[in-house]
A and B are shown apart, each in its own frame.
Chain A
Amino acid sequence: MPIHEKSLIRPENLVEHENLVIDGVDVSGHWSTFIESRALSDYNENMQDEIEALAGGEHISRCWQCGSCTNACTVNAINPDFNPRFWIYLIRLGMEEELVRDKDIIWQCVSCNKCTYACPRDVNPEGVMKATAHWLELKGHTKKKPSMVFDEAFSQQVFDTGKIEDGLVLRQFMKRTGQPLTQPWLVALVMGLVRRFPVFYLMRLGLATVFRPRTKGWIKARAAIHEYVEEVETANRKALGLDAKGAE
């Protein structure tokens, strides 16, 4: 697959003139497409430093723009607008407004690490994607994306009990994102399981609250982790120049 190169020319800035003559030369129509000039005044000079301060973004400055990450990327193959190389470019230049235009797809990175495997500069583009998604949320450019809601519900359970029960995570996630548990494909899935293996699978899916896995002797670990998480959150906000506690 060829490397998809994204252009900084916005479609709305391309103009064709039906009738235009400049210095006696006819420049009408499709053969003489013009690009309207635009002044960039939105540079955020701190942007690279801010992403660098978040977990995963540490090595962004190593990038030499080869495009191997985008070329290898799983999500790019289904959506050409998903372009890690391009975003790294924008961040390094500080083009905040340009980056924010893609705020609704950056979080879709599936963490497959194909980019990390391909990157010749050990940038860890997967980490940069996570840091960037996190940055967009912290800066208030976007509301929490479903993946962050999921990660938080999941992590909370691990921090609290030491273990995860898939069914509980599923239900909490559906609730927090306002999705019904009665979507036809979910129902089909559950019914298929129930048909073949009733009680056991209901338990597995946590639909019958019979047991909750937890790790014995977890209380002290739990306190230590919670304390550390708070520290990290405070440090992140400080690095981004935000006040100590953000709105939920």
Chain B
Amino acid sequence: MAGKYKKVAYYPGCALEGTGHAYNRSTKAVGKKLGLDLVEIKDWNCCGAMEVKNIDPKIQTYLSARNLSIAEKMGFETVMAPCNGCYHNLKKAEYDLAKDEGSRDVNSRLSEKAGHKTYEPGKVETIHALDWIKHSIGEEGLAERVTNSLKGLKVANYYGCMYTRPRHIFPEKDNGEGSESTSKPHFMDDLLAAAGAENVDYPLKTACCGGAHALSDCDTSTKLVLNLLTTAEACGADVIATECPTCHTGLEMHQVRAEKVLGRKTSVKILYFTQLLGMAMGLSPRTVGVHENFSDAMPLIKEKGLG
């Protein structure tokens, strides 16, 4: 297992260049610390996010497949995408190209006209940042590198929707021992536990934050997020660990909105799991971009002696 994902193609996606920059920064910092190489896909494009499929799903398949085709051309067998949305879309493209002739036709037609090689399914494997660390370093490897244990930090692990649903695009999940579960995912829990964190039993791991309508239907999103936040607090969590920039930004944004609009203040902090892992391995809060988060976790980090 060791070394399986030692060097992979990196697909940051648009969010990680924008509002999710702290995730980009912490993912790279953690990779460097662990001796894992990330090579960014050259001239990548947006995967289609949550929106393009509502105009037409086959364009989304093409957009995602173009990135896979570049990764293949660069000689990679694996693409790592830390954003749930990107990860989901690349997986979905892989599935649709393998199973649906219509998607294949549109993809080859658009690829030809755009002047690049058509991506054939099965050439490149897409993984999430969680798979990447779990399968290349593992819990034991991680525990060996922890210098600044997260001991005493109570964490609610939040995975959101796109990491596990719909189930059929993730054939490797629910697939026997050691595989990820779609009903009760645990890869993030495993990694953070290895770094010393105390994971609380959070029942809303795969609940929805309303990210698709974070702006177009604010009230729904605020209600959904408030439920996530208050439940995390009721479970005794100090922090919600995230693994998706859309979820992360949605939680931060609607935490503010819940306070301003509904008068419901919550104080649970929101950090990317890569930020927590980085600090556990001795990286400074600044190196993992804690100052770029909206949710100000510095007082908590100081209190727990993490930075």
Contact = CB atoms under 8 A, between A and B. Distances in A.
Could you tell me the dominant secondary structure of chain B's interface residues? helix
B188 to A, nearest CB: 19
B113 A75 contact: no
A110 B213 contact: yes
Interface in A74-101: 74-75, 78
Number of chain A interface residues as a range: 35 or more
Among B52, B58, B109, B296, the one with the most A-chain Cβ atoms within 10 Å of its Cβ is B52
B66 interface: yes
A113 B161 contact: yes
B207 A228 contact: no
B48 A158 contact: yes
B212 A110 contact: yes
Contacts of A245: none
Interface stretch (B15-23, B139-147, B150-158): B15-23
Classify chain B: how many residues form its interface, as a range: 35 or more
B223 interface: yes
A138 interface: no
* Dominant secondary structure of chain A at its interface with chain B: helix
B216 A173 contact: yes
A224 B110 contact: yes
Contact of B46 (A56, A158, A193): A158
B46 A163 contact: yes
Interface stretch (A1-9, A11-19, A148-156): A148-156
Contact of A192 (B208, B211, B212, B256): B256
Nearest to B17: A213
Interface stretch (A40-48, A61-69, A182-190): A182-190
A55 B165 CA distance: 19
B215 to A, nearest CB: 6
B57 A224 contact: no
Given A152-B55, A185-B256, A232-B56, A116 B114 contact: no
A110 B250 CA distance: 13
A18 B297 CA distance: 65
Contacts of A126: 166
Which 8 pairs of residues, A with B, have the shortest CB-CB distance? A224-B113, A112-B208, A221-B114, A146-B216, A162-B45, A113-B165, A154-B51, A185-B260
17 contacts: A108-B217, A112-B161, A112-B165, A116-B165, A126-B166, A130-B54, A155-B52, A158-B48, A158-B51, A162-B46, A189-B253, A193-B294, A197-B291, A213-B14, A215-B46, A218-B45, A224-B113
Interface of B: 14-15, 17-19, 21, 43-46, 48-59, 62-63, 66, 106, 109-110, 113-115, 161, 164-167, 182, 207-208, 210-213, 215-217, 220-221, 223-224, 253, 256-257, 260-261, 291-292, 294, 296
